[in-house]
Every structure is written in C-alpha cells, then in structure tokens.
Chain A
Amino acid sequence: MKQFQISANQGIFIASLIVCFLPTNTFGQDKKDAWADLKYQSAGKCSECHALPKGNQLPSEDPNSKEPRAWDVVLLTEYSIWKTHDKHAQAYSVLVGPRGKRMGEILGQDVTKQETGCLNCHALGNLLAKADTGGLDKLDGVSCAGCHGPSSKWLGEHSEIAWRKKTPQQKHDLGLIDLRDPQVRSELCVSCHIGHAGEGKIVTHAMFAAGHPPLPPIEIATFSKNEPQHWRDPKSVPYFKNADAEKKKNYHIQEPDFFRTRLALVGALVSLKETIKLAADRADFKNSNPTMLWPEIMMGAKAPKEVPAQQELAKNSWSEIAMAHSDCYACHHDLKYPGFRQVRGYGFHLAQRPLMRVSPGRPLLRSWPTSLVEAALIAAETPIDDIEKGLNAILASSNERPFGNPESIRSASTQIIKACDSALLKLRNKKLDSETVVRTLQELLKLYIKQNPEGKFFIPDYESARQLASLLEVMTSELGIASTTKQVTDLTTLLNIHPYQNRINRVKELLEVTVKASRSDKSDFKDDFINYLTDISSSTKLINLVKNPNFLVTMITLDNSKFNTELNKPQVIDKLQKFDDEEEVISLKSISDYDPELFRKMLTEISTSMPTIGKK
C-alpha cells in the first residue's frame, strides 16, 4: 500500500489551498460584467501554435537532457487532436448534416439559425450573438474559446514564461477560464451536457422526439478522457514534477494521484445541483427572458409576442417544459413483467437510505445525478440529510401533480442547491488521499452489493449504474488496482461507458479532410497519428509523428476555414453521421439490455477481487 501514501507536505499544500482558493463562481454574473470588453478568437487563431510543436518546443530526443522545452508544459498538438478527434469540433456540422436536417424538417425550423437556440450548445451561440466576437466562427463548433474563454487579453501573454507565475484568479481576470479547477470544469461541461437555462442551453422534449440523441449521464473525469483529452493528466506533465507549493496551487495539482477521482466526485455534486437548477430556473414563470428559458414555446410562428403572454403560455405548458429534464428511461422503456422498476418501487433511490417514495407512474426529474452524490458525500464525510430532504420535497411536488408543481420545485431546489454548495466546499477542503479514496470505494461497493436492513438489494437504473461503473473505473485506475482491471473493463463495456466505437474511423475520415484542407496531398501519416493518439503523453510517439514530413507539411499549411468547408461537404458529414448512428444504436441497445441483477453480480465479483482493499 506504500504507493498510496501521500507526503505530509501535501497536507500543508491542501491547507493552503483551502485558505487561498475559496470557490469563485466563474460562470455567474461576474463573468459577464468583467469580461464585457473581451473578445473571443477563432480556433484558426489558436492553431497557429497549437497544431504541432516545432523545433525546440519538441521534447528532447536525449532522455538525459535537462533543457526545458515547451512540450514539458503544454502539448502544442491540442488543435490537431481537437480538430480530428474530438466531436466538439463537429458540433456545428451535425446541424448541417442529415440528422440536423431531418430534425429541422420535423421541428419546422432551421437548426443552424441562432433563433432556434441550437447554436448555444453546438457553436458557442451565446458568444456569437455578441456584436464583436473577434472572429469566432460557428463552423468551428464548440471551439477553443468556448471552454478557455475570450483570449484578447491573454493571447500574447499566455505563451510567456511569466504567465506561469500568475494565479488562477489573475488569469481569470484576463479572461482565461480556470479549467484545472474541477468545479469550474464541471460547471462548464454540464452547462451543455445537462443544460443551462440562463444560457439558453436546453434540449427540449420536441428536439429529442425529432431526433436529438439522448443526453447521457455525465461523469466528468470519464467524459474528459473520452472527449478525448488534448491535455495530459497532472501526473504525466513533466513541468509538474517536483513542483513547489506555488506551482501546485496555481495549477491545482496538490493531489496529482487522485485528480480524476476528485473531478468525478466534484462533478457528481455539480451535476445534481445543475440538474435541479435547470428545472427550477425553467419553472420561474416570472422570468423576463422567455427566449432563453422556454425554446419549446418560443419556436414557431404561434408563439405570443408579448412577454406576459409568453410567461402565461409557459405556465400552461409546464408538462412539456418539464419533459425536457425528466428521466428519459422512466417512461421510455419496453414494458417487462416483472420489471425492476416495479420491484424496486418508485421515487428517488439512494443506496444508503430507504426509498424516497412518490406515487407510481409520475415522471420524475432525471435521477442519475443522485447516484454519485453518495460517493461524494462519503468522501467529504458529509451527511446526506439535507439533500435527501430536498429530494423528498421534489417528490412531494410530483405527488401534487405529474411533472411536479413548479412552485414547490423551486422552493425544494433552493434547499438542494444550498446543500450541494456546502458539500462542494467541504469536498474542496477535504484531502483526497489513498485512504479516503479506498474508504469511499469500499463503502460505496458495500452499499451497492449488500442487502439493506430490510433484506433488499439496491436496484439502480441503467444511468445510475453507468455512473457508478464509471467512478469505479476512475478510482480503481488511480489507486492502481490491477487485479480488477479486466472485470471493470467488462463492466464498462457492458454499460457502454466509452461509447466511441467508431473513433478510429472518424479520425481517419477527418485526417483525409485535413489533408484536403492543406497544401499537402499525402495522408501516409495516419497510422503514426493514430498511434500518437493512443498515448499523447509519450514523447517517442510524438517525435515519431513529427518525423513524417507529410504530417508537418499538412499541419503547417492547414487552413482552418478550408477544413470547415471540406468538413461540411455532404459526402463527409453523411459518413460521419453514419458513424454516429452506429454508435447511438449500440448506446441505446446497452440501455434496453440493462439488467440490474447482472450489474450487481459483476459488482460483487469486482469487490471480491480487491484483496488489498478488503484487508485494509
């Protein structure tokens, strides 16, 4: 167990973190005001440096070299990875492609237009809507600026050595989003992947019905990995080796060994909070911004013109509005008898608590966000009572009427959001060492595989099971538990936690596009590139890749706009959509094939294969 020990120094660093870095709400009002005059840049701008490292930016081929290289800090292949490998770069293209087109036909809308709200998630629509964006291009989909912030004030500075000494707050003041902070990152991801009423990021039930893929439950560490990452985990960054206190603080690397675990746990609390918040925000019928809040009633010619009439219509359309944030599979499942839903009873299900009851047959808020909250609270050593009270209040509102009484949802949400915030703060102040992670894992597994005092097993739904398996994978991998690797992989495969089966096909297709958009005509570097992607922290793989002159010529002469033009040609987007379709079929199949008993059986086997943990 020696590998899990954490130096005493780290405790001090964490203590200093507590003092120095109280949470800042990066996505609240303060962002808008402070950043009003900042400009967002297009991905093309970033590609000038982040397509590939050149010359002495590259890692040294001599393993004994002490000479600092830019690569020690930053990959400099971020743009290339994102553009060819990350579906965020095709977020706009899917709107132009066959799925987006069909959805538009069904909805009677042009989904590429700002007024439908689609662009808010698919092309940084909120930022595009600003008068002067500084060259942001919707064709780039979800591009650099969306996550990293407006770069007009830091673009020049951020490549200088002095930049590294700045605190996250100083960088943030200049417009750089502090994505290394787990909470900041989680809030950013879920603003699209769960939704955000204030930013008009909402997938309505009509959009789902028209063909929008279901939003899968999100576990931030695994989502980041699957994005895929165009950055290295703190452990693999040479610049972070033997970091001093200041560096650790500035880069949030106090616990490099459990960085992903923290991300998952923080993400869990943020997901619950934002899920509740989305529903509560949309239940505010006095809100003066119907266009952002209620796309379902604002789309189409029949929408009333005046705000009060829009608010009234929203109030009457609550069941439709609420469907957008209800648990999809609570209704959308083929009916089986005996089905696990009837066996386990209706309501919210926390593994450690008695069933929180609701009248059977009432659509509920998405319940997967409650699934990992228990893990986060175990780690933070925080009781679940307040959250439970809030969830019970939400259920009471569903007993009042299907989809819940909007007013009671709003009051219950305040309670849950407050409890989540306080748990987030506790977790922030809590040192995550191997002991905590092991304890959390043990207690969590116990909850899921042991009978409760009433003699019943906990029965999670598919999405909750998926979340748990996801966290399990993150934790066991960070703890370095090798004995369960195969079983965990079997479980994550069964629950389709890594859903991009067509990734390589997609990369190949997009590398062809890359070549077409450059002044090169040879794509013989495909295999080297794919090999590099299997481990982006490997200097050997990178050096091998950049030794291919065709790769160099392609990346250096690549024209971002031309890439977008090539990407959006029907022969390309149709093919990409086909890849997506195939993956979606697999995703949906794993949902309909889900069997909670098999899940528990596999979990039990994993638990018994953890000798080191068991003894501890």
Chain B
Amino acid sequence: MELLNINIPDWADLAWWLPEAILCGTFLVALLADLVVRGRRPWLPFAVSVAGLVTAGAYAVAALDPGTRTILGDLVVVDGLAAYFRLLFIFVGLVTVLFAWTAEEIMGRTRENKGEFFALTVLMTAAMCVMAEAKDLLMLYLSMEAVGIVSYVMAGYMRTSLRSTEASLKYVIFGAVSSAIMLYGLSLLYGMTGSMQFDGIRAGLMGGQVDDFGLLVAVILVIAGMSYKIAAVPFHYWAPDVYEGAPTPVSALFSVGPKAAGFALMIRFFYTTLAAGPDAAGSAGLVQQINWPLLIAVMSAVTMTYGNLVALRQLNVKRMLAYSSIAHVGYLLMGFVLLTETGLQAILFYLLVYALMNLGAFLFVVAINNHLRSEHLDDYVGLGFRAPWAGVMMVVFLASLTGVPPFAGFVGKWYLFIAVMDKQWFWLAIIAALNSVVSLYYYFRVVKAMFLTRPAEGANLSPLKLHWLQYVLLAVLAIPTLGLGLFFGQFTGLADRAILMMTTGF
C-alpha cells in the first residue's frame, strides 16, 4: 500500500529556476564556510557569496527570455517580469556584497559577524527573486515574510547604537502587525474566490459571485500590508530610523532591494488579479465602488511630498537619503495609478535607474564614513577637493536623483510623467514636478558642501584615499547613470518586453 500519494506536478521547467537554487545553495555554503573558519576569515564567505551571485547572474542573463515557465506546480512563474527583476536583484546584491567588503562599518576590526552579512545578503536576493515570481497567495505571503525576516535579522544584529536596536524592534513589531493585517485581507480573498492562485482569483472575480464590500475591504487590507513593505506614507514611519540605524551598506540594500521587490509583487498581483484589463479603470478595476486611481494618486502625491519636505530638514546625509527614498516611492507610485502598460514599463525602468543612483549615493556615504566616521553635512565640507573623483560621481548620483537632464533619473521620471499625463492626470504630474524642484534644494546642499563651501581655517584638507574597489563600483554605477540618460532605448526596450511578456502570458 502506498503511504502517501504525492504527485509533484512538473519537474520539466525546474532548470529555469537555477538562479534561485544557486543563491539558496550559496547561502548555505557561505554560512557553513563561515562556521568552519569560525568567523576568522571573512574572505571565505565573501568569496563564496560573490561566486554564487556571479554564477546566478550568469544564469539569469542566459534565461532572460524565458517565455512563461511555471516551476514545480503553479506557485511561482518565471516570465519576462521575473527575469527582469531577477537580474536587477542579483546586481543589487552583488554591488552590496562587494561594497560591504570595503566598508569599515561591516569589516572593521571591532566588527563581528562579518560572514553572516554576506550569507544573509545572498539569501535576501533569492527571496526577493521569489517575490517577483510569486503567482499564488501563499507564495506571495511567504516570500514577503522571508524578505522581512532576513531584514529584521540584518537590522537587528548589525546594530551601530542602542537607538538602532530600538529602531529594529519597531521594525519587527510593526512589520508583524502589518503582515497580520495583510493576511486577513488575503484570507478574505481566498474565501471569496475559493482559490489562492492569482488567475484562479481573477476567474472567481470575473464570475461575479463575489461580494463587493468584502472585496473592497480585502483589497484595502492587502494594500496596507504592501505599503509597509515599500514604505509608502502612511506606512513609512519605520524607514528613516531603520535606515539610519543600520550600517550603511545594509541601508543601501534596504532602500533599493525590498522596495523593488515590493513593486514587482504589486505589479503582478494587481495586474493579473484585480485589473479589469489593459487600460481600464486602473489598479483594481474589478473592485468597484471606489476610485482606485484617485486613491493611489493621493497616496503617491502625499508620499513624495512628505519625503521631500522632511528631507529638507535633515543635516545627516544618510537620514536625508532615507527620506529621499520615501519620496522616490511616491514617484514610482505614479506609474501605478492607472496600471497601464506605459505606467508599468515606466516603473520597471525607473526602478533600474533608481537602483543605480540610490546605491551610488549610499555607497559614497559608506566610502566617506570609512574615513570621517561621520555622515553629517558639516563634515562633508571640502570633500570635493579631498576626493575629487568620488565627489564628481556623487554629483552625478545626486543630479540624477533630482531628475536633472541629461542623467538617467530625468529619463526615468519623464516616463513616469508620461504615464500619468497620457490619461490627463495633470495635477499629479504638476505635484511631482514641484517636488523635484524641492528636492533640488536638499540634494544640492550636499553638492554645495562638497565643492562650494569654504572649509574652516585649519580644517583637515588632506586627500582621502579610497579603496580601489570603491572607485570601480562607483564608476560602474555612475557610468550607466550618465549613459542611460543618453542611450536609454536599449533598456526601456527591455522593460517594455518584460511587461509585454507578463501581460500576454496570463
């Protein structure tokens, strides 16, 4: 007699999941390697992590055109969208790992647990990839929680001060409650449609047998939970403290990776389950009774305005970048308002640009912190002359974050603007434009401090010598930030194709 009647649906397409498998394996090997050397030779887990990320990246490049492949049943799907984000996440993970290697905050003599940092970054990359691939409520929830748990751990034990420990407590407690709220929404969706599959839910909703009010409440609960993960107002309050408290490489990872993953997940979830169809009534056309585009538009406007206004007051560059990253979530939500293909393509392209410029800005802060042990604006005075190459690259990142032509940030923002203006949402575009002007002020305050402010008498003006790897990485981020602004066709094409593959694939 057969004890268990197990049938695993389909092994055939498992090869398309190699990058994630490699990353998970790398995590385990890096952890074991760290254990074997008892934490004394951090280069070993570092080397393992880099090797794993590079291999996974190579496979991800090879699998850039997957069609639509469901892996082991129908929990996750590898399609254009997943392939695009997978590449982005692996790039972010790799840059973070390499830069952390040069960061005193991680690798300093008194620092512990160096090996775990590399292992956890690799695992976070894998979990973020799964977020972009989930097509089932269970996988959606689990991948979000996996990313959440890794980030709680990273925020919790890589602490720099008591205050940062408290920030990480806030992160865990409110993170847990936000996922409980989202989960209630998910359970209602499951109940009303009888399916956990995104396409099954869609079919259930199309069947028209679903209670309107229940659906409305469920979707609002789900949006609340997701907003916490991408740190959109009013669920943003954890972000500045956590970003400031964590070591800067960790903040750099947090401000780019989980956010992009959250957007990937929202795009797939809303587009394939709730949207009434291309270019219809916006984000959740199947949920009537409420003006979804308006809701998201207000959220977007409030988020960007709040982020920018509070950033104005910050004198700590790291905290300023934390608020600026909240503002950028607001810009990104612009592409989400109408859930048109144009909007989604704009989000994808802007996420790529945002990853480049935001990582670059954070990593400059890391490099400077290595020497000055400070992130305060006053200590940035004269840096433009002490580290001219890095300083110039920082100006590129900041100008791109502001959205000044000819940098990539300008092109990215332009696409987002087009997405809303296409449908006559001019007020949102105007608010976004005004916000960009406001952001000019605080971004350029950093530039001013570095290049224009006269250093005080007797200030230390000796040149700073950065690690060679830091120059290489900053250049790797700065050149595309400049180049994408001029030659963006190739990459917007990639984003277009990713969205097209998703929209036609379901």
Answer yes or no: are A and B bound together in one complex.
no
